[in-house]
Amino acid sequence: MNEISVGILGTGKYVPERRLTNQDLEKMVDTNDEWIVSRTGMRERRIAAPEQATSDLAYEASLQALQAAGLTADQIDLIIVATITPDMFFPSTACLLQEKLGAKNAAAFDLSAACSGFIYGLANATGFIKMGMYKHVLVVGAECLSRITDYTDRNTSILFGDGAGAVVLGQVPEGRGFKSFKLGADGAGGDLLRICGGGSRLPSSEQSVNEKRHFIEMNGRDVFKFAVRVMGSAAEEALAHAGYTKADIDLLIPHQANIRIIQSALERLNLSEDKAMINLDRYGNMSAASIPLALAEAVEEGRVNEGDCLVLVGFGGGLTWGASVLIW
């Protein structure tokens, strides 16, 4: 029996309306537009309305992805939501989304791999479809990072935003679809990027709140060094595994953490900047939502053509990383 080719049938995205600009941040912490733009490339981010939670953002992006795929919610067999900002501990955001969509035939679970979560989700979905267990899988990256960001900390508050991206995976013609995945983790670097409060190690308490343990803690410089190392190597390994080379890449869809991290990956892959989808200037870093949202915008802008070789690559807390080669 020939192996099924699995690819993307439709993409969708959603960002909240409210904008948080560098000028807004100048009034909140000791920073300035020039520093933020030159060190990160970011200019503004979107912030969810008070009544919006991650599943609401995921819902809007999913509706678009379903429509683009030409499918109804009841044709979805599995929902995977990659997020570090679930609506609540449980039920999973995927179950909340299943209910909102009316995807009554779908199994549903959340996936925790921080900013690499969407690529981990794609790998899971592809495996399920290839083994014949499911036909259509909805994979979503969705975050409300504004809820876990300390807006008195200039090291982190300038970086993060809210948003969601979604894709529907299913069978595609032979020769197209996902050609490889490279996933990795290094738990030894877990303390470089984390939230400690609220889990079983440090349950929520007055003290945990006062000590700000429910916000993102990050060693920016070390995460930066890790990211520069791993973005290029993960992409190269995924390419080699798929039997492709750097010269084959038509478009890089990188995690949108910092323009300088993306530039170093481009250098290593011998690519010019027009070969990368970059939208961090408008949205900042949306963790698991960054890659699917960049992909959805690239499709929307007509930057992705049939037969193109795309490389998706990201890194994040865990530490984790992931890359994939996708023939559109």
In the complex with ligand UT7, the residue whose CB is nearer, 16 or 41, is: 41
In the complex with ligand UT7, the residue whose CB is nearer, 14 or 118, is: 118
Distance CA(190)–CA(223), nearest Å, equals 10
Contact by Cβ (8 Å): 289, 165: yes
- Least separation in angstroms between residue 259's CB and ligand UT7 is 9
CA distances from 324 to 77, 140, 239, 289 (A): 23, 16, 8, 16
- Least separation in angstroms between residue 274's CB and ligand UT7 is 22
The site for ligand UT7 (CB under 6 A) is made up of 31, 35, 39-40, 115, 154-155, 158, 193, 218, 220-221, 223-224, 227, 257-258, 285, 287, 316
- Least separation in angstroms between residue 286's CB and ligand UT7 is 9
| CA-wise closest residue to 193 among 224, 228, 158, 217 | 217
- Least separation in angstroms between residue 72's CB and ligand UT7 is 34
Which long-range contacts does 125-131 make (Cβ < 8 Å, 24+ apart)? Answer: 125/6, 125/78, 125/80, 125/169, 126/6, 126/169, 126/178, 126/181, 128/78, 129/4, 129/6, 129/169, 129/170, 129/171, 130/3, 130/4, 130/6
Please identify the residue of the shown chain whose CB is closest to the bound ligand UT7: 220
- Least separation in angstroms between residue 29's CB and ligand UT7 is 7
State the residue for tokens 């961090």: 280
CA distances from 117 to 105, 185, 198, 264 (A): 23, 12, 20, 22
Token digits for 58? Answer: 């995921």
State the residue for tokens 């409060």: 197
Between β-strands 78-82 and 107-111, what pairing exists: parallel, antiparallel or unpaired? parallel
Catalytic residues: 115, 255, 285
In the complex with ligand UT7, the residue whose CB is nearer, 26 or 250, is: 26
